[in-house]
Structure 1
Amino acid sequence: MEAIIIIAVVVIIIWAYGKKKRSDFAREFNIVFPTGKFKLKKRGHPASVNEFTLVYPHWEYAKADGTKDARRSSNSLIGGDSTLSVGAWEVRCPNPVHLYSLITELRTRGTAIDLIPQEQVKLQRGSVILQARHATSVAELVQTFYRKPDLFSHFCAELCRQQGYEVTEYQEPGFDFTAELGGVEGLVACSCLNVHSNVGLPAVRKLVDANVLAGTQELMYMTTGGYSSQAVALAQQEGVHLIDGTQLIGMVQQAWGGSSSSEGISYTEYTLTMEELMQGYPADAQLVP
């Protein structure tokens, strides 16, 4: 009995000590500490750079796609701690999603933390999108998205969101995303072309054909160029709403023309979504965050 009491006292002391460190950390950075299993250690001096690393579990024996190799009789998930170095603190957590929630909370309160590669990619994309929001001509849009078709479709999706649409990005053959407004859903395809180039009949037909399976009520094509006479004829026949370069730049100026071109990129532009965070797990081990 005495041994049990001693063990209980030790556990309580460890728990209380850990809680105090969380409280000290939260007070220093003016945050609400998120839930999760965290280990905190305070060093003697602040680190030169605030940075973090996300570590995901992986199968001891995995196939090429990262999923479990079922041919192995003994095969288990191997984990590790994700780490954060901020100020004079070192934080470790076995769950990368939980650690990232702490990082997001810190950034929200103004603490600068270096970006990891996934975030740098999103930041670069956000920089391009921000530049496009302040375009004053179709030629500027074309120059911004030259050889960046995926970013152009993402920009068009953002533009539709500004118009009040609920957008889901797919990038399936024939269309780039769906847009829903007032219960009416449609497929949207995008092409960034030179100002004097035209979207041809095959591209518009692909959009129409894609809707055979999707069965939406509306179809829209958006481009920085124009449309061939055959494409226009098919669009009129099938009820496809065509947005050319002139109309597109008008939509851009209506959506963002009043914003300052010197505005910076918010941390939310490069914050990883839950879907993006979960991509680090093996497909057959999507653990509950």
Structure 2
Amino acid sequence: MTMTMAMFARSSRSSARALLRCQAPSVRRLAGNTRCLSALTSGLNSGSSSSSTTSQPWRVIDSQTRIRGALSFSSQAGTETAGDADASAEETALTSKQLEEARKRYRFTRQDFQPLQTKPLHFDMVFDMTESKVKVTLQTTIKHDGAQPLSELKLNAKELQVLSVEQLDKFTPLGGGNDFVAHVQSFGEPRALQYEVDTVDHFLVIKLDKPVQSGEEFVIRTVSVATPTENILEGLYFDYTPEGAPKTIITQCQQHGFQRIVPCIDTMDAKAYYTTTIVAGTRYTNI
């Protein structure tokens, strides 16, 4: 049974920043020094002065430092001395650094992303499903926006078996349009490319024998095999399955799960349109 879905919609990655904020661990679940995140943010956002924050409860950062609201205090009683003031300033700097590290760990901002040098425009994907392996033939239309010619393309690829990498020389460029059916139908015969699989940093490194010039579109075809997992909730993984039914396979692409399904530019700003075809046995009845 072949089921085809033509999906001309933007990737859901645009909601990634909001999703991160909504699902970030609460202050009670954070470990160690990152407990300062909610306490500091609360005090800073409320505009509290030193007099108002002193009524707030203590929050422990480490064995030597405690904070109230947005301010840090010495745990020693008595009149504050110059040494106490220096220690307080040092503690404030420490908590600011911890706050920045915590924010960096759990949040992304626009400043975290540089303009893409190679931008995906369209994915044409064919999924050949079995209960243990999923073979994906992917044709990715990419535009090169870098200033220099492109002779090597690095795609994120994690825990994938790459079977082949090819380039299509003959095709009708999209040119900013969205006639994806005609675009895919124009694809000519592919030619093989040399490639390497980096299993340490999880990249598929493709050698382009004809450098792509700035502003040009090109099409890369990859054939790879993904293995759904039981305990990694990214990419393709098995979910609860009713008795007597084939294994239920779930997809999870955020934040970096798409590279567990196909070789791709797997960043939250790499948005593209896509067309998907799913080939599966008749035991599968739902998508």
TM class by smaller structure? under 0.3
Q: Which is richer in helix?
A: 1
Structure possessing the higher relative contact order (Cα contacts under 8 Å, 6 or more residues apart): 2
The normalised TM-score by structure 2 is 0.25
Q: Calculate the TM-score normalised by the size of structure 1.
A: 0.25
Give the structure with the larger strand fraction: 2
